[in-house]
Structure 1
C-alpha cells in the first residue's frame, strides 16, 4: 500500500476522499449518475491510440526527421521544445513528454562537447522548458489534456469556441517559449555530431525501421473516430467498442498501456464531488469561496491537488465552466504536482546518471512562476477588455 501511495498518490487520495464522503452520503442509485462515462470513454480511447502510435515510434521518427536539419544547440533545443508544444495539442501533454523527453536525453548524451556541469545544466533547462511547453500547448484543444476533455464535454461549447477561448494564452505561451529558447541556450554553432545524433548511431534512425503502415493506419482511423466523438458526431459507446476491438486485433498488448490509474482517479473524484454536492453545508462553504473567484481558485487549488482533480471538484460548484478551463490550464504551471504530466519529466530526469534533482526543482519552479505570472497578467488584461 505504501509503495502504491508513493507511485499513484492522487489516485489513492481520491479513493480516500470518495470513501470518506460515502459515510456522509450512503451509496444509492444516484451514485451511477455521478460518473461521466462519455469523458472516461473518450479518454480511454485516446490513451490506447496514443500508446499504440508511440510503440510504433511515430513521434520519435518525426522528431528525428526535424532534428536532422538543426545545426546549433539553440536550434536543437528549439525544435524539441516546439515538438512538445505542438504535439501536446493532439496527443496530450503526458504522451508528448513520454515521447520526447527520453529522446532528448538520448541526444544530450551524444553531445561530446558538453561535459559535467554544462551537460547537466543543458539537460535541466531543456527538459523543464519541454515540460512547460507540453503543459501550455495542450491547453489549446479539448483533447490536449484530461481536464480539458472533461470540462469541454461538460460545457457544451463548440470546438471552435473552446479553441477561441484558449488561443490568446496559447499564442502568448508560444512567444514566451521562443524567447526563452533564444535566451537560455548557447548561440555558438557546432558540428552535427555535437548537436544531433549521427545517422550511423545505433540509437538513431531506429524509429523508421519499426514502422508498419498498416498498424499506423489502423491507429489513425481509431484516432479520427475518437475525434468524431469529441465533436458529437458519433456515440461514445460505439467508438469505445470499436477501439477496444481494433486495438485487440492490431496489438492486444497495447491494452495494458492505458493509464488505468488516471481513469480510476476520475471515477473516485466523480463520486467524491457528487457526494459533496449533496452535503449542503460543505457545498455552501465551497460556493462562497468560489463565487467570483473561479480562475484564481482553480489556479491555487491546482498547486496542491493538480489541475485534473481541481477541474472535477470545482466544476461541481459552478456553471462558469469557461473560467475553470482557463484557471485549470494556467494552474498547470507552478508546483511540480500542479500538472501530473510534470512528474513524468521529473521522473525521466531523475534516471540520468549524476542528475541534480534539487537544482531541477529550483529551475522548474522559477520558470513556472514566471510563465504563470505573465499568463495571469494576460488574463487580467483580457478580462478588463471583455
Structure 2
C-alpha cells in the first residue's frame, strides 16, 4: 500500500489539473478562512461514493484480463479496415455505457494500437474516433461518465428513466458517428494474427461481474455509501491489488472540483454573471452547458451549472454534447490523446472533433426543443 500511495502522490505532482484545483483551494482559503470548516459539506459524497465503487469494479474487470482477450478475438475476426474501425468504435461506445468513458479507452486503445501496428491502419485517427465514441456512448447511462453520475444523483430519477431520456440523443450521435467512421476508413483487406495468449483471472472476473448489478441497484436506491463499502471489503479480502491499483488521485480531483466550483459559484460577481445568462430558460441553459464544457470541461460545467438551474435533462444534454469540440471538453479526450503517444494527435483530433461538436449541438437542440423531448 505504501508503494501505491507513492504512485498516487507522484501522479498528482504531475497532474496539472489537480495542481490548478489545489492552488484555487489555497487561494479561497487565504481570502476566506472562515469557510474552511464547511468545505466537507460542499462535496456531493453520494456521487464520490458511486464513482469510487464503479472505479473499483471496472478496475477488477480490467485486471482480470477478460476484456483484453475478448477484444483481441473480436477484432481479429474482422476482414477489412472499415469493418475493424466500425467494430472498435462500436465496442468503445458500448463499453463506455457500463465501464465509464475513460476505462473504456484504457481497454480499447492499447488493443487498437497493437492492431494498427499489425495491419497498418491509421492509429491516431482510429483512437480519435474511439474518443468520440466513448463521449457519445457514455452519455446513455448514469454510470457512463462522471458528469452523468453527478447529474443522476442530483436528479433523483431511476436508472431506467435516465437512460430513456438520453436515448434519443445517443441514438442520433451514434448514427452520425458510425456514418462518419464508414466514410473515413477504407475497405482494404486486413489480417490480424493472434500472437499473444492473454491469461484470465477467473475468480476476479466472476466476482466483479457478480458485484456489479447489486452495486447498481444499491446506488439506484441511494445507498452508494454502503455499496462502495461492501465492494471495497470484497476486493480487500479477495484481490487487494485492485484496491492498490485504483486511481485514488482521480477521486481526490473530483472532491476538489466540488469544493472549488461551489466556492466559485458562491462569489457575488460570479452569481450575478450567471444569473444574467437567464439559465432558467432551457435554451440558454443548453448553450451555456456546451460553452462552459469547452472552457472548463464537461464535468466541472455540470457541477457549476447545477448551482443555478435544476433542469437536469437539459444540463445532461448540454454537457454531454460539450464533450466534443476542443480537447478540454472531456477528460476522456485528454486520456485518448495521451495514450496515442503521437505529438500530432492534437491536430487530428480537432479536425474531427470540432465538426462533430457542431453536428452534435444541432442534433441535441433539435431533439430537446423540436422533437417533444424537453
TM-score scaled by length of structure 1? 0.87
Residue of structure 1 equivalent to 2:320: 329
Residue of structure 2 equivalent to 1:259: 247
> How far apart are residue 7 of structure 1 and its match?
3.3
Residue of structure 1 equivalent to 2:82: 74
Residue of structure 1 equivalent to 2:370: 384
> How far apart are residue 29 of structure 1 and its match?
4.9
1:60–1:99 contact (8 Å) kept in structure 2 = yes
> How far apart are residue 4 of structure 1 and its match?
6.2
1:93–1:138 contact (8 Å) kept in structure 2 = yes
2:141–2:148 contact (8 Å) kept in structure 1 = yes
For residues 273 and 341 of structure 1, what CA distance do their matches in structure 2 show? 20
Is residue 239 of structure 2 the alignment partner of residue 231 of structure 1? no
> How far apart are residue 26 of structure 1 and its match?
2.1
Residue of structure 2 equivalent to 1:311: 302
For residues 334 and 16 of structure 1, what CA distance do their matches in structure 2 show? 27
> How far apart are residue 368 of structure 1 and its match?
1.0
> How far apart are residue 237 of structure 1 and its match?
2.3
Runs of 4+ in 1 over 6 A off after TM superposition: 3-6
Question: Are residues 188 and 240 of structure 1, via their aligned partners in 2, closer, same or farther at CA, if it must alter by over 3 Å?
Answer: closer
2:293–2:322 contact (8 Å) kept in structure 1 = yes
> How far apart are residue 272 of structure 1 and its match?
2.1
> How far apart are residue 279 of structure 1 and its match?
3.3
2:360 pairs, out of 350, 375, 382, with: 375
- 3-state SS of the aligned residue for 1:182? helix
For residues 135 and 364 of structure 2, what CA distance do their matches in structure 1 show? 17
Q: How many residues align?
A: 358
> How far apart are residue 243 of structure 1 and its match?
1.1
Q: Deviations over 1:230-267 (max 9, x none)?
A: 311x6222212211111112211211222222211221
Is residue 163 of structure 2 the alignment partner of residue 155 of structure 1? no
1:125–1:184 contact (8 Å) kept in structure 2 = no
Aligned positions of 1:1-386 closer than 5 A: 7-22=14-29, 23-24=31-32, 26-27=34-35, 29-111=37-119, 114=120, 119=121, 122-190=122-190, 192=191, 196=192, 198-199=193-194, 201=195, 203=196, 206-207=197-198, 210-232=199-221, 235-289=223-277, 291=279, 292=281, 293-350=284-341, 355=342, 357-358=343-344, 360-382=345-367, 383-386=369-372
1:311–1:324 contact (8 Å) kept in structure 2 = yes
For residues 269 and 223 of structure 1, what CA distance do their matches in structure 2 show? 27
1:18–1:269 contact (8 Å) kept in structure 2 = no
For residues 28 and 15 of structure 1, what CA distance do their matches in structure 2 show? 14
Q: Deviations over 1:203-256 (max 9, x none)?
A: 3xx22xx22322211111222232113311x62222122111111122112112
2:72–2:111 contact (8 Å) kept in structure 1 = no
> How far apart are residue 5 of structure 1 and its match?
7.4
For residues 264 and 177 of structure 1, what CA distance do their matches in structure 2 show? 33
> How far apart are residue 277 of structure 1 and its match?
4.6
- 3-state SS of the aligned residue for 1:289? coil
> How far apart are residue 69 of structure 1 and its match?
2.4
